Amino acid sequence: MSHRHAHGRQEGFDENAAEKLEWSDALLLGLGPMDDAHEQFVQVVKALAGCNAVTALGCLQAVEDHLLAHFDTERELMERTGYPSMDCHLDEHQKVLDTVLQVNQLAKAGQVGLRDVRRLAAALADWFPKHATYLDSALSAWVSKQRHGGAPVILRRHIARFVEHESVQPEQRSAA
């Protein structure tokens, strides 16, 4: 579900991505409905990652329901504004949705277990920041330009802490 550029596939993913996924102002794109949907995405994926045998089907359904609404909202934005990269963006959404639908269907039939469900949560958490950074940020900028004539203004709280953390080299992080 992740990508190298806007469209390519990347083998493997971070198995611990769901544990690391947190909503913060660093993920803001400056378009309210999109930012709200992204915050909800983080919530449903975190719930999926923390589910148990009793809650797994409900959490899977919540992810599916969220993605259907989330992706539909973005599609409507693209169509309404004549977004030039719509096909690539929608293609990626469909691949993610197809994966979630398949896992949900298999889980309902008892053909996948909790480990597979948590692996899906990790794959979604690994995919999301890359998708938001490349495809969704471009969509947000496009919509803002169409509506307001320029790029979105994004005010981020506590971003200095985020930037400082990101600028520390990996070997320095483990020593810190």
Locate 92 and state its tokens: 């990626």
* Residue at 2 is within a domain: no
Residue 74 counted as domain residue: yes
Predicted pLDDT of residue 169: 46
Identify the weakest region by mean pLDDT among 8-22, 75-89, 130-144.
8-22
Model-level pTM?
Answer: 0.79
Is 12 a domain residue? no
The boundaries of the domain holding residue 82 are: 17-175
Inter-CA distances, 58 with 52, 61, 77, 107, 164, Å? 10, 5, 29, 11, 38
The total of structural domains in the chain comes to: 1
The answer to whether residue 158 is domain-embedded is yes
DSSP state of 152: P
pLDDT, greater one: 171 or 82:
82
> What CATH code is carried by the domain that includes residue 76?
1.20.120.50
